[in-house]
Amino acid sequence: MSLLLAVAFVPEPEQSRIARPDTNPPPDPQLNENVVKVPVTLTLPDGTLHKSEFVLTTFRPDGPGPFPAVVVSHGRDASPKARAEFGRAEYGASSWMYHYWTLRGFAVLAPTRVGYGVSGTDVDPETARGPCDSLDFATAASAVTAHIRATIEYAATQAWIDKDNIVLAGESAGGFGSIIAAGQRLPGVKAAVNFAGGAAGLPHTRPEQPCSPQNVELLLVQAARQGAVPSIWFYAENDRFWGAKLPRTWHTAYVGAGGTAEFHMLPPLREDGHGVVPYGFEHWPPRLDRFLSAMGYAPRKLPWGAPQPTGFAPLERSPPVANLSAWCMGAYDRFLTLADLPRAFAISPNGGCTYSWGALDVMASFIADRIGRLQTLFAGSALQGVVLKLQDSASAWMSPHKRVGLNQVISALDDGICARTVCPMERAIQLVEISARESQLILFARCRSSNTFSMWARHCPCCSLL
């Protein structure tokens, strides 16, 4: 109520003026990506109403709708320069957010808030005023929630979105704002996901000692008392913004005030666990799966149109094929433990193998890495600049995001590379099988052998490419 009274007598809202050009790649039709502008009215720190519009990036899963939707709120950089150069919040093919949610059948709605990049930087509605030990985050939180509310209002006008099934998710300041918004009982919102949420972190000058954590707690308690929807929180032990103690304190206060929140403290992640989403991909997806499944949402599934396993080599069978070396048998057992990650395993006819995991575009990155090694071996030769050529053909999958023809996966391995270097045959590599299950890909390939090629099997770059 106090916020409403504070804005009752302010002048007419002023339009946002300064917007940076969009330096992101253009919308990708393969991702069903679209960019729109959505109106929003904000309350600035001085109480002034500010009428503006923000850029909203949307992604649809393949297939018919309507889809449940997730509103993904980005974090905040303390640097005005970084916020000005922010560009557009884009959770596309390189993003775990896109990959995870679309495979669960969710549309992804990613607002770029006013004060960042393409949505205008003439005002900063998220500024918290006061000394470090007494910052007031109410206006900053209201700016995040205003964008979430406007996004939900836009979603309600779109026939391809199930307006009665909305999930809020956010990172850092966006995670904090998502939990505050979850307490406002916005139309259709069923749950919230908080990735390392908080405010006023100072990782470089005061690691693990943010400004005014008690005021973050105050707003979380208020949200909980308003009747927040179920939520799940993810933090890491080595978060340099909040540390490990404060998130537990915030969660305890939130639940104590009536909030429903499942809490997960992940182990240390790289040099700074604040990057829970990209660095914690081995940990949070299975936990979030269980949370969403318990709420009745469908499990993760194969991408639309992905091939079904053929039984050539069942994924769980170890070894998958005969004649693997002892090292590769052990490697395959390790490969099977990567159950919640995109992964690829390749074998050669002499019992050699290699595997890769973790990258969203695992097949593309897998092959590109091997091509890069090949180019290094033959620097200055005709191999420099080699790219995977697009050809025709039947359905196969190179990645969770890109449909490709069966021959496209290995088109760079044809006689244009191999026969003209050290492997004297028309085509050195033959694709035998791709099996896919829950976005996990396993590739089986063999070298088309001759006596000459067998001599090269251990060293031939064409064979080792996979």
Question: What tens digit of pLDDT does each residue of 111-129 get?
Answer: 999 999 999 999 999 998 8
Mean pLDDT of 54-60: 95
Q: What is the pLDDT of residue 308?
A: 58
Amino acid at 168: L
Domain membership of residue 372 as a residue range: 326-464
141 and 52 in a common domain:
yes
Contact status, residue 235 vs residue 278, Cβ threshold 8 Å = no
CATH code assigned at 255: 3.40.50.1820
In this prediction, residues 381-400 reach a mean pLDDT of: 29
Same domain, 59 and 148: yes
Tokens matching residue 69: 């939707």
Average pLDDT of the chain is 75
pLDDT of residue 416: 33
d(CA 440, CA 286) in angstroms, rounded, equals: 14
| Tens digit of each residue's pLDDT (9 = 90 or more) over 296-316 | 998 776 655 555 566 666 677
Do 345 and 436 share a domain, yes or no? yes
Does some domain include residue 305? no
Q: What is the pLDDT of residues 30-51, one digit of tens each?
A: 788 999 999 999 999 999 999 9
Q: Are residues 349 and 277 in the same domain?
A: no
What whole-number percentage of the chain has pLDDT above 70? 66
Within 119-267, strands assigned E span: 161-171, 189-195, 231-236, 261-266
Residue 20 amino acid letter: R
- Based on the fold, state whether residues 345 and 261 are members of the same structural domain: no
* pLDDT tens per residue across span 416-456: 333 333 333 333 333 333 343 333 334 443 334 333 322 22
In this predicted structure, the answer to whether residue 237 has a pLDDT above a threshold of 80 is yes
Q: Is residue 321 part of a domain?
A: no
Residues 200-210: what's their mean pLDDT? Answer: 95
Task: Give the model's pLDDT for residue 48.
Answer: 93
Altogether, the residues listed in the chain come to a count of 466
Same domain (yes/no): 199, 282: yes
Specify whether 269 is located in the same domain as 349. Answer: no
pLDDT digits (tens, 9 = 90+) for 151-195: 999 999 999 999 999 999 999 999 999 999 999 999 999 999 999
Domain assignment of residue 289, yes or no: yes
Instruction: Determine the Cα–Cα distance for residues 352 and 345; give it in Å rounded to an integer.
Output: 11
- Number of structural domains, the chain? 2
Please indicate whether residue 463 or residue 133 has the higher confidence score (pLDDT). Answer: 133
Most confident of 149-163, 291-305, 332-346, 400-414: 149-163
- Between 143 and 97, the more confident residue is 143
pLDDT of residue 183: 95
Structure-model confidence comparison of residues 335 and 225, the more confident one? 225
Backbone φ and ψ of 132, nearest 5°: -55, -35
The answer to whether position 368 is within a domain reads yes
Instruction: For residue 314, tell me if it sits in a domain.
Output: no
Residues 93, 40, single domain; the answer is: yes
CA distance 428 to 250: 59
When pLDDT is averaged across residues 274-285 and rounded to a whole number, the result is 90
Which contiguous run of DSSP H or E holds residue 33? strand 33-43
Instruction: Using pLDDT thresholds of 50, 70 and 90, give the confidence band for residue 367.
Output: low
Is 6 part of any domain?
yes
Half-sphere exposure of 415 (CA within 13 A, CB side): 4
Strand blocks (E) in 44-98 = 49-59, 67-73
Residue 313: the pLDDT is 67
pLDDT at 282: 81
- Look at residue 318 and tell me if it is in a domain: no
Give mean pLDDT, residues 226-249.
96
**Domain check: are 150 and 200 in the same one?**
yes
Closest by alpha carbon to 186, among 226, 216, 215, 140?
226
Does residue 338 or residue 187 have the better pLDDT? 187
pLDDT of residue 179: 98
Asked whether the predicted pLDDT for residue 4 surpasses 60, the reply is no
Strand 231-236 vs strand 189-195: parallel, antiparallel, or unpaired?
parallel
Same-domain status, 279 and 342: no
Percent share of the chain, pLDDT over 90? 48
One domain for residues 283 and 337:
no
Predicted confidence at residue 238, as pLDDT, reads 97
Task: Give the span between the Cα atoms of 456 and 454, in whole angstroms.
Answer: 5
User: Which residue(s) pair with 234 in the sheet?
Assistant: 195, 264
Average pLDDT over residues 15-25: 58
* Domain presence at residue 176: yes
Distance between CA atoms of residues 82 and 117, nearest Å: 9
Q: State yes or no: pLDDT of 331 exceeds 70.
A: yes
Token pair of 161, please? Answer: 């979105």
H helices present in 337-445, as ranges: 362-377
Q: Do 106 and 152 fall within a single domain?
A: yes
